[in-house]
Amino acid sequence: MSGTPTSSAQHATMAQLLQQGLFHHQRGELRPAMDNYTQVLRIDPQHPDALYYCAVIACHEGQFKEGIELARRSLGVKPRQARAHNLIGQALHRQGKIKDALAAFDDALECDVNFALAYGNRANMLSELGRHAEALSSFERALALDPNSVHDWINRGATLSGLGRFDEAIASYDKAIALDPQFPLPYINRADALREAGRFEEALANFDRVLGMVPKFAEAHVGRALTLCALGRLEEALTSAERAAELKPELAAAHRVQADVLEVLGRAEEARAAHDRAAAAQAVVPPNGG
């Protein structure tokens, strides 16, 4: 609180402003929401909820340093906020600070042992750190608490794929698809797992399904090209790789597949040019979070 105690009338005003802010926030109207939260902070600069929601908006807008500072201010007033620790972890992850993010998610779970979202986020950090067994355990806990989390089923599948456990990964993607049949991401992950498992015809059917949903999904065209290569259908593979490169010229994998197919087809000069495009695309590193 500020130096002067707030009156009952000020408390009522802050409660109203906070509700108005949440109304705008839930509708995606971030500027009006921020205006309401800021008005609360003018009355009480240490209001923990207003600080937290300002932190949420800052992180949403890519202002991760500011978001972390605001969330930590909120924790300074109200320490046992699992949501604030979780938000800090997400922001740290976007800054590439994986170990610090993991510690923040652990702090969130210390505050609330049943916080499914934090278990899922923690699992993602463990997977990025190569601690796959621990990641799977954390995913299992997240999904026991929230079995309808599509993203946790997808990310669990990705971890299993990374371990070469493709049948289990495919089953995990199937769970995600059952929960949200219109979401293309589990389909492409499933297709990749099928391809890596050597089930090429099934993989091709899955890539085609993804592209029926999202025709301009460049990464799906790359996966389709790789699958067609494995099936020996090189001209079709080249067409898919060219389409991927056309849709997303910065996608190095598209140019690499082009180059590999062109080499097999004996078109050496075109293959060299495709290799050069792949190297140029690989050299362009996007800004963190961009």
Find, among 184, 183, 204, the residue nearest to 194 by Cα.
204
Please state, as a whole number, how many other Cβ atoms lie within 10 Å of the Cβ of residue 288.
11
Taking the C-alpha atoms of residue 137 and residue 33, their distance in angstroms, rounded to an integer, is 38
In a domain, 83, yes or no: no
pLDDT value, residue 103:
98
Q: Which domain holds residue 259?
A: 216-283
Q: Is the pLDDT of residue 3 over 70?
A: no
The token duo for 224 is 């389709």
Q: Is the pLDDT of residue 288 over 60?
A: no
Number of domains in the chain: 1
Per-position b or e across 230-260, b if 16+ CB within 10 A of its CB? eeebbebbbbbbbbbbebbeebbbbbbbbbb
Per-position b or e across 149-183, b if 16+ CB within 10 A of its CB? bbbbbbbbbbbbbeeebbebbbbbbebbbeeeeee
pLDDT value, residue 285:
47
Contact yes or no for 104/118 (Cβ under 8 A)? no
In a domain, 6, yes or no: no
CATH number assigned to the domain comprising residue 273:
1.25.40.10
Tens digit of each residue's pLDDT (9 = 90 or more) over 78-130: 999 999 999 999 999 999 999 999 999 999 999 999 999 999 999 999 999 99
- Per-residue pLDDT, averaged over 184-206, amounts to 96
pLDDT value, residue 1:
43
**7-11, 33-37, 60-64, 196-200: lowest mean pLDDT where?**
7-11
In a domain, 288, yes or no: no
Percent residues over pLDDT 70 in the chain: 96
Taking the C-alpha atoms of residue 152 and residue 167, their distance in angstroms, rounded to an integer, is 17
Contact yes or no for 87/109 (Cβ under 8 A)? no
The token duo for 175 is 């769970």
Taking the C-alpha atoms of residue 245 and residue 257, their distance in angstroms, rounded to an integer, is 10
In a domain, 134, yes or no: no
Query: How far, in Å, are 167, 185, 232 from residue 190 at the CA level?
Result: 10, 9, 21
In a domain, 72, yes or no: no
pLDDT value, residue 283:
73
pLDDT value, residue 123:
97
pLDDT value, residue 281:
86
Residue type, 279: A
136 Cβ contact list (under 8 Å, min separation 6)? 123, 156, 159, 160
Taking the C-alpha atoms of residue 169 and residue 158, their distance in angstroms, rounded to an integer, is 7
Per-residue pLDDT band at 8 (split at 50, 70, 90): confident
pLDDT value, residue 153:
98
pLDDT value, residue 4:
59
Per-residue pLDDT band at 282 (split at 50, 70, 90): confident
Tens digit of each residue's pLDDT (9 = 90 or more) over 228-275: 999 999 999 999 999 999 999 999 999 999 999 999 999 999 999 999
In a domain, 210, yes or no: no
Q: Is the pLDDT of residue 149 over 90?
A: yes
Taking the C-alpha atoms of residue 39 and residue 106, their distance in angstroms, rounded to an integer, is 32
Q: Is 267 exposed, middle or buried (0-12, 13-18, 19+ CB in 10 A)?
A: middle
Per-position b or e across 197-224, b if 16+ CB within 10 A of its CB? bebbebbbebbeebbeeeeebbbbbbbb
In a domain, 175, yes or no: no
Mean of pLDDT over the chain: 93
In a domain, 85, yes or no: no
